[in-house]
Amino acid sequence: MTTVSTPAMRTANERRRAGSIAWHVGALAVLAVVLYPVIWVLGASFKPSKDIIASIDLLPSKPVWANFSGLADGISGISIGSFFLNSLTYAGLAVAGVVISSSLTAYAFAKIRFAGRNLLFTLMIGTLLLPYHVLLIPQYVMFRKLELVDTLVPLVAGKFLATEAFFVFLMVQFMRGLPRELDEAAKLDGCGHLRTYWSIVLPLCRPALITSAIFTFINAWNDFMGPLIYLNTPEKYTVSLGLMMFRDQEGISNYGSMIAMSLVALVPVIAFFMAFQRYLIDGMATSGLK
Amino acid sequence: MTLVKEAPVRPAKKRSAAPVAGRRGRRRENLAGYLFMSPWIAGFLLLTAGPMIASLYYAFTRYNLFTPPEWVGFDNFTTMFQDPRWQKSVEVTLKYVVVATPLKLLLALGVALLLAQKRRGQGLYRAAFYMPSLIGASVSVGFVWRALFSDDAIVDRTQKIFGVDVGGWIGNPDYVLYSLVALSIWQFGAPMVIFLAGLKQVPQELYEAAEMDGAGPLRRFWNITLPMISPVLFFNVLLESIHAFQVFGSAYVVSDTRCGPADATLVYTCYLYQKGFKEAQMGFASAMAWSLVVAVALVTAVLFWSQKKWVHYEEAAK
């Protein structure tokens, strides 16, 4: 742009570039520390079992496939695929439940003026802060009496009944942000609430729905305490429990396969994260702002 | 201004503009509202309110799942307060909350300040820093942590190069809790993103004005940034400390399924799990759960009370 550059301009430019380099160096340094465990597990999965704890190298000196091929044998007679299928079923049902029940509830809070709405909304928000553990024992007793222990019902029932207040809250926030004129116009055109919900609000809420779906999937995939308490037949175990079983049976002797399976178990989460990180991060940010 | 004389008429007019007016319309709205939220109402009654009442009752009984609960009054609570393992679990949990929460938030704020600057690749950095928050809760990462912090493994060996020898992490009752603290700090992504969103809302003019008045970066941070993001800081402190009180998975997986050598990682919920699901002492475990509720409610109350002193709400600006 300029043909003449004064020394003052040059130093200002230089200073800006130096600042930029310093910023990137700083950010990359923090990033290296943060991502170290992820890179380490990638490298470790190709190391022979005896090197995983003992070797200080990040990457294997001679990569081996044995850890992954060892997974084909399964864990005490149960194939790895079975654990994955169970986790997938759990996560799939959880996603369906949360998306349907939370969006209906959120619509009521955001778009319908009914008596007692504010009180119920406060109660709903209050459940966000309630430690889950106070419900753990009576819920277990209840599901035991209903003979539903060792099924997926106790794990997903709450998802179909909108007990995950975080998602209801997220969707309420989103629906309140939609222009009022839209649903007022729909009302004047004679749309009932069901119609307005289904054809106007729901399509516009897609970002909030996707965010909730992905969070739910990842939470269900990572869930540990739920399956630990409710599932007792190894054939019904999710990936988390499969991993624990692996550790208890094989111990240190088969560290390689354990690390390999840890990595494989992380793949769906990381894949989902990479595909939808924008939604997840924005969803998290909105939750803190209002 | 000219509308002033119309003002008294407007509210009435607005209500009558709704297609279905009057009491019938209102009743219909009520019905629609309750129908739409019927899943939540059912969930709240069956899975939240009902269980809360039940667990309050169990807390005053001796109950092993097989014989009917037997009323024992405050016995569970008196036994609990005198139980050395319960005391240990309280101590471990408090130590965890007090060390992990501030460090995590400090790192989250630091990185958020770094990422708040407009630089190339900002989005990529933000995503990469956020990732541990999502995978950190998995058993997989628990195993990775165990492998990294095992005695004589990478962390141990690397620090020995620098001449620091703590005598192992996972096997050492004095340090094993700090490997869990490290795992918690590692997941600083979620509060970081919330800080970042808060930082974006600080009006740029404030900084420009302060700079003209000759305020240095530290002063600007202390007098502008910190007060402006204090609502977000409050939210993060509240959420993170409540979460920290409830830590379970990492203590169970990283140390070992009995929660640590010499109970060193016997966090509160881990003891609750042992009492309830290993020893079938449902009454005792319920008493523990209610004590946790009281503790969390106290922390919440103290934080809400304290916010008058340090949280700035810009009501006028809205």
**Spatial separation of the C-alpha atoms in residues B130 and B191, rounded to whole Å:** 9
Q: Do A114 and B34 touch (CB under 8 A)?
A: yes
Q: Check pLDDT > 80 for residue B116.
A: yes
pLDDT above 90 coverage of chain A, percent: 61
User: What is residue B6's predicted lDDT score, i.e. its pLDDT?
Assistant: 38
* Cα separations in angstroms, B118 against A39, A272, B112, B202, B251: 27, 27, 12, 14, 39
Spacing of C-alpha A57 from chain mean position: 31
Backbone angles phi, psi at B302, to 5 degrees: -60, -40
User: What is residue B11's predicted lDDT score, i.e. its pLDDT?
Assistant: 41
- Closest chain B C-alpha to A104 CA, distance in angstroms: 5
Which of A144, A131, A278, A280 lies closest to A219 in space, CA to CA? Answer: A280
> In which residue are the tokens 């009914």 written?
A114
Q: What is the largest CA-CA distance in chain A?
A: 85
**Spatial separation of the C-alpha atoms in residues B22 and B17, rounded to whole Å:** 11
- Which chain B positions have a beta carbon within 8 Å of A285's beta carbon? 193-194, 196-197
Contacts of B257 (CB under 8 A, 6+ apart): A244, A248
User: What is residue B3's predicted lDDT score, i.e. its pLDDT?
Assistant: 36
Q: For chain A (length 290 residues), average pLDDT per consecutive 10?
A: 63 85 92 92 89 80 85 82 96 97 96 93 92 94 96 97 94 91 85 91 93 94 95 95 83 78 92 88 78
Across the range B305-318, mean pLDDT stands at: 76
Give the SS3 label for residue A247: helix
Which of B186, B6, B204 lies closest to B111 in space, CA to CA? Answer: B186
Per residue in B188-212, pLDDT tens? 999 999 999 999 999 999 999 998 9
The verdict on B277 touching A (C-beta cutoff 8 Å) is: yes
Q: Do A142 and B48 touch (CB under 8 A)?
A: no
* Residues B246, B238 contacting (CB under 8 angstroms): no
Pick the residue with more confidence: A121 or B17?
A: A121
Q: Check pLDDT > 50 for residue B4.
A: no
Contacts of B107 (CB under 8 A, 6+ apart): B185, B188, B192
User: What is residue B5's predicted lDDT score, i.e. its pLDDT?
Assistant: 36
- Closest chain A C-alpha to B198 CA, distance in angstroms: 7
Give the SS3 label for residue B65: coil
User: What is residue B261's predicted lDDT score, i.e. its pLDDT?
Assistant: 85
Rounded (5°) CA angle A197-A177-B202: 160
Spacing of C-alpha B102 from chain mean position: 12
**Spatial separation of the C-alpha atoms in residues B216 and B212, rounded to whole Å:** 10
Single-letter residue type at A50? K
pTM of the predicted model, to two decimals? 0.89
B:237-266 residues touching chain A, CB 8 A cutoff = 242, 245-246, 248-249, 252-253, 257
Question: How long is chain A?
Answer: 290
Q: How confident is the model at residue B287 (pLDDT cuts 50, 70, 90)?
A: very high
User: What is residue A3's predicted lDDT score, i.e. its pLDDT?
Assistant: 54
> In which residue are the tokens 């700079």 written?
B211
* Residues A102, A168 contacting (CB under 8 angstroms): yes
Among A155-159, B166-170, B252-256, where is mean pLDDT lowest? B166-170
